[in-house]
Amino acid sequence: MDITHRTILVTGATSGIGRGLAERLADAGSTVIAAGRRADLLAEVSQHPHIHPLVLDVTDPGSIAAAVTELADQFPMLDTVLLNAGVMLPEDLRTGADLATAELTVATNLLGPIRLAAALVPLIAGRPDAALLTTTSGLAYVPLPATPTYNATKAALASWTESLRVQLAGQVEVVEIAPPAVRTTLMGQQTAETAIPLEVFLDETLELLRQEPTPPQILVEAVHPLRFARERGTYEAVLGALSTRTH
């Protein structure tokens, strides 16, 4: 994928992987629209000359509709969408007290991408080299028991991405990015030894994205133990190791 000339919407772009990818894609020469809920954080990200802010709450259909109208008006050359916004929160399924957490997670991680794709695919489908990327997780393939709804939404998003790829074949290139644990503020992993440094993840991800043809899944080396656990016969061992972790 040529990432030097695109007009790219990145959701969840105010921190972590989303912000890192937005900045790297802008550094490569693309025009990036950084979307997020907090205007103050968007102002920080958009100090980059090739990054433009867009206030967007992916859990709010009204916010999505307003954002799509703004995109169509101000960025008619939009050709690439990176659906990255997500939340990751622990839940205790034994108490029944975390239903609100589950509902928020589904609304953000699954309904958000589905709603945005429904609104944006018609805008980009006619563009040359149109692409839509989703951010799933290695935990879509082996779950972290501490975050059950997060794992489930990412597994669902991975499956949905596969179907989208088939349906949009020849019109829009569809790519799944499945990160491992990365040192970001998500679940307080910024210093976790079990997570890889953000810059390492970004380096490997951009290298894989630049390949021609683009791999349908962007899998950095650190996510392979999760992604290929069933094929390697290590699923139970990996799940057991995850069962002892809180992040």
State both tokens at 143. Answer: 């779950």
The CA-atom distances, in angstroms, between 64 and each of 10, 40, 42, 50, 87 are 13, 19, 17, 22, 17
State both tokens at 113. Answer: 């991408």
Q: Is 150 a catalytic residue?
A: yes
Encoded amino acid at 92, one letter: D
Under 8 Å between Cβ of 177 and 138? no
Q: How many other C-beta atoms are found inside a 10 Å radius of the C-beta of residue 170?
A: 5
Q: Which of 51, 80, 150, 157 is catalytic?
A: 150
DSSP assignment of 19-43: HHHHHHHHHTT-EEEEEES-HHHHH
- Please choose, from the candidates 56, 55, 186, 28, the residue with its C-alpha nearest in 3D space to the C-alpha of residue 112: 56
Under 8 Å between Cβ of 205 and 21? yes
Residue numbers annotated as active site: 150
